[in-house]
Amino acid sequence: MIAGAYEHPERIIPNKSLAQVHSEVAAGALADAGLSFSDVDGYFCDASIPGLMPLSLTDYMGIRPRHVASTETGGSSYLVHVAQAVQAIKAGACDVALITLAGLPRQLKPNPASATAPEAGFEGGMWGTTIPAMYALAAQRHMYEYGTTSEQLAEIRVAASQHAQYNPNALFQKPVTVEEVVNSRMISDPLHLLDCCVITDGGGALVVVSPDVAKDLDRQTVKFLGHGVSPKHTDGGKIDLTYSGALYSGPRAFEEAGVTQDDIDYASIYDSFTITVLETIEDLGFCERGEGGKFVMDGALQAPFGRLPFNTDGGGLCNNHPGNRGGITKVIEAVRQLRGEAAPQVQVPDAQLALAHGTGGMLGSRHGSATLILGREDA
Amino acid sequence: MKIGNDFPTPAPVINPETEAFWAGTLEDKFLIRACKACGENHWYPRAKCPFCHSFDTEWLESSGKGTIYSYTINHKAPGPFAASGPSVIAYVELDEGPRVITNIVDCETDDLAIGTRVEAVFFPAGDDAAIYRFRPIA
């Protein structure tokens, strides 16, 4: 179960090192749980961390875990880490698992793509591809096959911005209209500037604990009920851009949790771009494939009373996408909702079951999907 | 104004598995990889068939023709591409099956649509390779 969750309050951090931000979010999540660094016996991280993955940071933080793991699935890594922490605890490998993410993209240059990646010769540098372009390709095809419109994609940004106005830490706190989204500068057709997420420094951390540890804590915990993980890739040249890996990870998570879409009170849906949300909602089965555009209209995503309240922190679109990796904030806001600690204006009444979904990598080529289903302590 | 013919041509990453493909580009050939076991063609080219998992694969010269499966007009191109203005990034579905990431060049952006017929055109990129891009078939 999740006992600690912490989001770094800053969005622009010119004056700290990457390891320093990792340690700050770790301290925050441990304090939230009522635990300390000396209690940590499991550590989970991605491959974006400074140095030799878990080794450099366990050294920096001065922790001596008996279990370490490093799995990289881009921005969805931290949802995978939660599932792996639960599995490790179940296997007896650790009792207090710490998961950290930090990034400083406004300060540091991104790591260059690996020249040994098997696709390196056929993607990237020669075509002038960008991250927005690799999502725009999916949006264009979805529009072609299903008649999805820019106005429908804009509804997703509108809902996120409505929520962000109640988050004093959000990078963009001003509500926007559909007209403002579709009239914002075109970045990569059909995606406009306001179809894209923010670029922020910062990070977040989670603490996952065993039932034995949890019973001695004063803090309300959140139950892990189910998970699903899936890579989705170019499929040897048969890539279909109209769906994401959520088509595979979603059903696995619902099956393990033994619940259905109708049972979900709140959803954190990865929102690197508006199209990421639209395809994910379809793939998770909240509507039929191709119906996502219709589903998101009429305030369906707006908390607290929409059909599927989503990203009540303002999401990656308005609040935070630390290190160009939004997965950990998806889990953190789901934890807030299940503890009743979201901003009061967007707290879903009596939220018992939440879904958190991550999409890491590129919607238009290969990405890692991860879905978690979480429950309130007494659910 | 037609766009794309002045795009940069950085040398691609070449390894022993893909050397023959790039040698083909110097002769205006677009090779793909075909599986002798299951008959499927795949992209990007690899020694192992990603569908039936056989290693019994071979080079096949494609027609170099296909249709646009999806595309985007990228207004915020990176680095050296920025000087050329908007660029078109696309998946082209070759007539032989595979969908390939590339640029569409020698085109007006208003002429583009999903389904537009295109053909490969090769731009020299150093001694060992030419960059393949696609242009609408007149």
Q: For the segment A168-196, what is each residue's pLDDT rounded down to a tens digit?
A: 999 999 999 999 999 999 999 999 999 99
* Exposure string over A184-220, b if 16+ CB within 10 A, otherwise e: bebbbbbbbebbbbbbbbbbbbbbbbbeebbeebebe
Cα(A22)–Cα(A157) distance, rounded to whole angstroms? 29
- Taking contacts as CB-CB distances below 8 angstroms, the residues of chain A near B80 are 128
Q: Is A150 on the interface with B (CB under 8 A)?
A: no
Q: Give tens-digit pLDDT for A342-370.
A: 999 999 999 999 999 999 999 999 999 99
Q: Tell which residue, A87, A332, A100, A90, has the closest CA to residue A212.
A: A90
Cα(B107)–Cα(B137) distance, rounded to whole angstroms? 10
What is the least distance, in Å, from the CA of B51 to any CA of chain A?
A: 7
Q: Is the pLDDT of residue A124 over 80?
A: no
Angle at A186 between CA A183 and CA A191, to 5 degrees: 95
CB–CB of A146/A152 below 8 Å?
Answer: no
Tell me, which fold does domain B19-136 have in CATH?
Answer: OB fold (Dihydrolipoamide Acetyltransferase, E2P) (2.40.50)
* A188 → closest Cβ in B10, B74, B98: B74
CA-nearest residue to B50 within chain A is A236
Q: Give tens-digit pLDDT for A295-304.
A: 999 999 999 9
pLDDT value, residue B79: 84
Cβ distance B75 to A186 less than 8 Å, yes or no, reads: yes
**Domain range list for chain B:** 19-136
CA-nearest residue to B32 within chain A is A237
- Taking contacts as CB-CB distances below 8 angstroms, the residues of chain A near B90 are 137
Cβ distance B100 to A237 less than 8 Å, yes or no, reads: yes
pLDDT value, residue A52: 86
* A128 → closest Cβ in B22, B78, B114: B78
Dihedral over Cα of B10, A134, A252, A328: its sign:
positive
Residue A6 in tokens: 């912490």
What is the least distance, in Å, from the CA of B27 to any CA of chain A?
A: 18
Residue B42 in tokens: 């795949």
Q: Cα A231 from chain centroid?
A: 15
Which residues does A16 contact at the CB level (< 8 Å), separation at least 6? A24, A104
Count CB-CB contacts under 10 A for residue B127: 7
Query: What three-state secondary structure class fits A54?
Result: helix
In this prediction, the answer to ipTM > 0.90 reads yes
* B89 → closest Cβ in A137, A138, A241: A137
| Best mutation target, B31, B68, B72, B73, to test chain A (most A CBs within 10 A) | B72
| Domains of chain A, start order | 2-109+201-219 (3.40.47.10), 130-197+223-376 (3.40.47.10)
Cβ distance A121 to B103 less than 8 Å, yes or no, reads: no
Confidence of residue A104 (pLDDT cuts 50, 70, 90): very high
A358-377 residues touching B, CB cutoff 8 A: 364-365
Chains A and B: how many Cβ contacts under 8 Å? Answer: 123
CA-nearest residue to A145 within chain B is B114
Q: What is the average pLDDT across B64-74?
A: 97
Of A163-177, A278-292, B77-91, B100-114, minimum mean pLDDT range: B77-91
Q: What is the average pLDDT across B75-93?
A: 91
Query: What three-state secondary structure class fits B51?
Result: coil
Cα(A35)–Cα(A339) distance, rounded to whole angstroms? 18
Which residues does A47 contact at the CB level (< 8 Å), separation at least 6? A53, A70, A72
Confidence of residue A48 (pLDDT cuts 50, 70, 90): confident
Helix A246-257 and helix A274-283, axial crossing angle in degrees, nearest 10: 50
* A127 → closest Cβ in B69, B70, B103: B103
Q: Give tens-digit pLDDT for A197-213.
A: 999 999 999 999 999 99
What is the least distance, in Å, from the CA of B138 to any CA of chain A?
A: 23
* A125 → closest Cβ in B10, B49, B97: B10
Confidence of residue A115 (pLDDT cuts 50, 70, 90): confident
Average pLDDT value over all residues in chain A: 96
| Best mutation target, A109, A122, A144, to test chain B (most B CBs within 10 A) | A122
CA-nearest residue to B74 within chain A is A188
Cα(A127)–Cα(A358) distance, rounded to whole angstroms? 27
* A119 → closest Cβ in B9, B44, B51: B44
Q: Is the pLDDT of residue A111 over 80?
A: no
- Taking contacts as CB-CB distances below 8 angstroms, the residues of chain B near A116 are 15
Cα(A377)–Cα(A254) distance, rounded to whole angstroms? 18
Count CB-CB contacts under 10 A for residue A255: 12
Q: Is the pLDDT of residue A34 over 80?
A: yes
What is the least distance, in Å, from the CA of A246 to any CA of chain B?
A: 21
